[in-house]
Amino acid sequence: MCSVTGVLIIKPENYEKIEKKLIQILKRAEDRGRDSFGVIVIEKDGSVRKVKALGRPSTQEEKLYGILDENSKVIIANNRAEPTTEYVRQKTEEDIQPFEGERYIVTHNGIIANDLELEKKYNVIRRTKIDSAVVPPILDKYWNGEIEQLKKILNDIKGSFAFIIGDKKRPNRIYIAQNFKPVYMMYDRELGAIFFTSLDDYFDASAFDSVTKLDPYSIVEVNDNLEIRKIQLLDKKIKKVLVIASGGLDSTVAATYLLRQGYEITLLHFNYHHKAEEREREAVKKIAEYLQVPLIEIDTDLFKIIGHTTLLKGGGEIVKDRLGEEGAEFAHEWVPARNLIFYSVALALAEAYGYDAIASGINLEEAGAYPDNEMEFVRLFAKLSPYATGPNKKVEVMMPVGNLVKHEIVKLGVEIGAPLHLTWSCYEGGQKHCGKCGPCYMRKMAFRINGLNDPVEYEN
């Protein structure tokens, strides 16, 4: 593939320092492309200067010196790794990115699988067999520079892409369009330049530099007044949600809340040979029936293989010191990577069966003890989602009770009519809640704080 790079120059008087930083970025970007490199600079008057060569920039650094001057405004660059499907034995300058049209200059990371169809549909001619070369003539012919219109064109592309685009008619701005191919942005205030490239490592940024990962499936326009416009490529509204449900308080309130908000929900439950498996399974079935929603059950032996947790049958004793307070304050019953595995399976099912989002009962209370209940876990998984699903199949990740503690979850559950009486919270699988494990302690205290009677029975 490639690494794409772009620069929007705010302070042209710093062009020499900006040039040095650009060269360093291109040298670091060789790990994503060593077959060729190219740089095209747009001047204030719309004229261009360019350097293109086979091989690495690190071995031909001298070719890049002097490419900028005090009139330089936009830089579009590329480090290319030649895909097997686009091998060209005798390469010319026409085969090296960036590609230049009459108005637009484009650098592309990814593969356009329908380049031949696009050439016919838009009635354009490219100068090389390289797929990316079809884009500039299409933009020249059909794009007026507004990002809303660019979105319509990009919707016709089948494949993967991160484009950085320069406009000769308006050299005071730069465009970035991407589906799941990454682009990072860094604003260097001292140099007065905004840099873009495929990986943040290439910036060699300090702790005080402003580095941002641009959202996948988005188009971004940045001008030299430091104004940013952004639109999403996917206009998907969330309707169907797959809710990971244990049969406990948190996931039941989360599911009920989403249902009351008008979402179509399906419960997803995992049977993984844990001590409370039968009781949780019984509970989640009753909850699904009460809410009148579908239930998907998954039986797995995976955690028997992983082991190393007392939560499983035969895994050892549950911690019950200090009437359960000890278990509420520390993750004694930690199951290795459980929520990550559950989330990954949920994501796969959501993609395969057309759910718009996944959700769970992850909350602020249990984040104090369990790393995979931390809100940051959900946020980072949400950022991972576009890179773990197929093209244009982005699945959102929701946390309806993520900012609530246990007594707030109980309060919300009562207010929205969640079937709290059907839930099972205990780590044990007895006829009644044991009343001494961490979840039992938190549950009892949550109802007590709200001045409510807990509708479930306890052994003690």
Residue 222 identity: V
Show the tokens assigned to 173: 């701005």
Digit-coded pLDDT (tens) for 201-222: 999 998 888 999 999 999 999 9
Would you state the pLDDT for residue 86?
66
Over 90: is that where the pLDDT of 10 sits? yes
Question: How many CA atoms lie less than 13 Å away from 92 in the CB half-sphere?
Answer: 4
367 pLDDT band (50/70/90 cuts)?
confident
Residue listed under structure tokens 């302070």: 11
Q: Where are the alpha helices (DSSP H) in 230-358?
A: 249-260, 277-291, 302-306, 325-329, 338-353
Which residues are known binding-site members for ATP?
245-255
User: pLDDT tens digit string along 76-106?
Assistant: 999 987 777 766 777 788 999 999 999 999 9
2 carries an active-site annotation: yes
pLDDT confidence bin for 359, thresholds 50/70/90: very high
pLDDT cut 90: percent of the chain above it = 87
Q: What is the pLDDT of residue 263?
A: 98
Cβ neighbors of 297 (< 8 A, separation 6 or more) are: 269, 270, 271, 281
3-state SS assignment for residue 411: helix
Q: 312 or 329, which is more confident?
A: 312
What's 240-450's CATH class? alpha beta
121 versus 323: the higher-pLDDT residue is: 121
Q: Tell me what the pLDDT averaged over the chain comes to.
A: 95
Q: Which of 162, 160, 165 is nearest to 146 (CA)?
A: 165
**What pLDDT score was predicted for residue 327?**
62
What's residue 92's pLDDT? 84
- Which pLDDT value is given to residue 33? 83
pLDDT tens digits, one per residue of 132-168: 999 999 999 999 999 999 999 999 999 999 999 999 9
Please state, in angstroms and as integers, the Cα–Cα distance from residue 123 to each residue in 132, 140, 202, 208, 407, following that order. 16, 12, 38, 48, 64
Identified catalytic residue from 1, 2, 75, 267: 2
> Residue 280: which of 142, 427, 107 has the closest Cα?
427
pLDDT digits (tens, 9 = 90+) for 208-266: 889 999 999 999 999 999 999 999 999 888 999 999 999 999 999 999 999 999 999 99
Helices (H) and strands (E) in the chain, counts: 12, 18
Supply the CATH classification number for the domain 3-232.
3.60.20.10
Is a pLDDT exceeding 70 seen at residue 1? Answer: no
Average pLDDT over residues 389-394: 93
Domain ranges of the chain: 3-232, 240-450
Q: What is the pLDDT of residue 236?
A: 82
CB burial of residue 36 (10 Å; 0-12, 13-18, 19+)? buried
Question: Lowest-pLDDT range, 10-24, 351-365, 368-382?
Answer: 368-382
Decide if pLDDT at 414 tops 90.
yes
Cα angle value 302/295/381 (rounded, 5°): 55
Q: Residues at the annotated binding site for Zn(2+)? A: 426, 434, 437, 440
pLDDT at position 418 over 70 = yes
User: What pLDDT score was predicted for residue 324?
Assistant: 62
Residue-wise over 181-215: b if at least 16 C-beta within 10 A, else e? Answer: bbbbbbbbeebbbbbbbbbbebbeeeeeeeeeebe
Binding-site annotation, residues: 245-255, 426, 434, 437, 440
One DSSP character per residue, 35-86 reads SEEEEEEEETTS-EEEEEEES-GGGSGGGTTT---TTEEEEEEEEE---GGG
The answer on pLDDT for 411 being more than 70 is yes
